[in-house]
Chains A and B, each alone.
Chain A
Amino acid sequence: MKEITYLEAIREALDEEMARDPSVFILGEDVGVYGGAFRVTEGFYEKYGEWRVLDTPLSESGFTGAAIGAALVGMRPVAEMQFADFISCAFDQLVNVAAKNHYRWGAATPIVVRAPYGGNIHGGAFHSQCIEGFFYNVPGLKIVAPATAYDAKGLLKAAIRDNDPVIYCEHKYLYRRIKDQIPEEDYIVPIGKARIAIEGSDVSIITYGAMVHTATEAAKVLKGSGVSCEIIDLRTILPLDKKSIMNSVKKTNKVVILHEQTKTGGVGAEVSALISENCFDYLDGPIIRIAAPDTPVPYSAQMEEVFIPQPKEVINAVEKLMRY
């Protein structure tokens, strides 16, 4: 075992997959000579050369289209959005081309789009967005959002080996702030499988990405007052691991859904609807959603702190539910 950061886990996954499979290559803005805006691909250009680490023009639509084309002829490209916010420029390629190739022709499109997303980094409205909701009702796409370094590596490897297009949401705030013990040997984290981050019996907190850590902080405080929280880290948000969600709800009978993405039409809305449809009889109280308000991400650090869900909000929600 060795301890590495979330960012190093992403780098290792890319490096190992490129070493393992010559069809894997990287493309994006400044991923080559510069090593990526966040230095994830530092040294890759020197190690793998210009044909496998492609610096592209500033055109998300262009390089995503190029990645799709390469995938159709047998390559496994990993495209990097410098910031997930700019993925909107590649929306057409992802939604109308990549997501539909399999349905239209039975053609596999094994691309991974790395999307550095999320706030709490004082980046303002164009560098902090959670983008998973933009793609959430697009059949044919998969979306993963690791919360730990272990999952960051395992999910990226799984995404690269997957035959469907995968949007890999990597949280910028976590890059150099969290570390994990990682096995030396090769491993993957299967797409579509949630994990129980903390086992508990009184209330389920269903979440993903950086909010797993917010939920964990809240759970520690709540434990002090005798409340046992179960934290479900979704890991894959499309497709959802319905079984894990339902099992937890049936056990605790109380649900808080927590995400950093804005509230309306978010992942939480879907999870909430699924629980209502399948587990209504098990619920002891209302499903509570905690999410960012429906506004752009503010630049001001003070306003951003209000915008992004904090442990206190989780604690308040759980305390409210515990009265049912």
Chain B
Amino acid sequence: MKMSGSPEPRAIMEVLMEAIKREQESYDYYYRTALQAAKPATRKMLLSLAEWEKGHIEELTNHVMELKAQMEIDRAITGGL
């Protein structure tokens, strides 16, 4: 396990945050498009894709929570060194 002072956890955090941002953009896109869809079948498919992206966001958010938790503990142990 690398300490929080090393670049690795911070780099992973950046990747995760960027991934969440992109998943959110995808969710917004599918949801917005679904609202504009004329056919119920199309709307249903787009909403299901939006839900899929929402699942990704939740999964990534759990990873962020886990990483933050460990980084905080590492910082407490090392005094942020």
A residues sitting closer than 8 Å to B (CB atoms) are 37-39, 82-83, 121-123, 127, 172-173, 175-177, 301
Contacts and interface: CB of A to CB of B under 8 A. Distances in A.
B72 interface: yes
A172 B69 CA distance: 9
A127 B69 contact: no
A308 B77 CA distance: 19
B1 interface: yes
27 contacts: A37-B76, A38-B72, A38-B73, A38-B76, A39-B72, A82-B76, A83-B76, A121-B70, A121-B73, A121-B77, A122-B1, A122-B70, A122-B73, A122-B74, A123-B73, A123-B77, A127-B77, A172-B73, A173-B69, A173-B73, A175-B69, A175-B72, A175-B73, A176-B65, A176-B72, A177-B69, A301-B1
Instruction: Tell me the interface secondary structure of chain A in the complex.
Output: loop
Contacts of A38: 72-73, 76
Choose among A172, A173, A176 the residue with the greatest number of B CB atoms under 10 Å from its CB.
Answer: A176
Q: Report the interface size class on chain B.
A: 10 to 19
A122 B2 CA distance: 10
A122 B76 CA distance: 12
A221 to B, nearest CB: 20
Contacts of B65: 176-177
A125 B60 CA distance: 32
A177 B62 CA distance: 9
A265 B79 CA distance: 33
B59 to A, nearest CB: 15
Nearest to B71: A176
B68 interface: yes
A173 B77 CA distance: 13
Contacts of B68: 176
Contacts of B72: 38-39, 175-176
Contacts of A83: 76-77
A291 to B, nearest CB: 23
A263 B66 CA distance: 28
Nearest to A82: B76
Contacts of B66: 177
B80 to A, nearest CB: 10
